[in-house]
Amino acid sequence: MGKQLAEPIPAFRSLVEVCKTNSTLEEPCLKISELFINKSKSIITVRVGYAMKIEILKQYGETKELKQAENDQSKYTSHYECLANIMNYGSSYMSHKGSKFSKIADPINRTFGEVAFLEKLAKLNYDYYSNLGNDNIKNPDSCSD
């Protein structure tokens, strides 16, 4: 999966190839992947960071680190997918409170990143449907489990 994610994105394709084919760059490439994972505000860049890290660790036989990276990637993916599912529950909070939402959405997205944005949307949608008495919507706090 890692290669499939990074390969279609032209900006990352050559970086992944250089990292996979030049063992002297293993350490700097892992640092780049860590920067993508830990400093990016974009979900896709974090996912590319995990994909790069996993591909590099596979290439150079780092079994323990590979398993940890795959586990971390899985947790990250599960977290934002859980939030996205809550955000999209029902007809969504945005359709009910669109103008109020739009005032807070852009600053959150730009300042804190896409996952924080999803967390806020999921919380708004959860609160909206919970206040209507709907017990079927999942609490976004449980997405971190």
Q: What is the pLDDT of residues 97-108, one digit of tens each?
A: 555 666 666 666
Helix axes 26-39, 10-21, angle to 10 degrees: 140
Q: How much is the pTM?
A: 0.79
Q: Which domain holds residue 89?
A: 84-144
Number of domains in the chain: 2
Structure tokens at 62: 């780092």
Taking the alpha carbons at both ends of the chain, their separation in whole angstroms is: 23
Domain contains 71: no
Give the integer Cα–Cα distance in Å for 135 and 145.
19
Domain contains 91: yes
pLDDT at 97: 57
Task: State which of 10, 26, 61 marks the end of a domain.
Answer: 61
Domain contains 78: no
Q: 55 with 20, same domain? A: yes
Query: Which whole number is the average pLDDT over 122-141?
Result: 90
Domain contains 106: yes
Residue 143 and residue 79 in contact, taking contact as beta carbons nearer than 8 Å: yes
Domain contains 31: yes
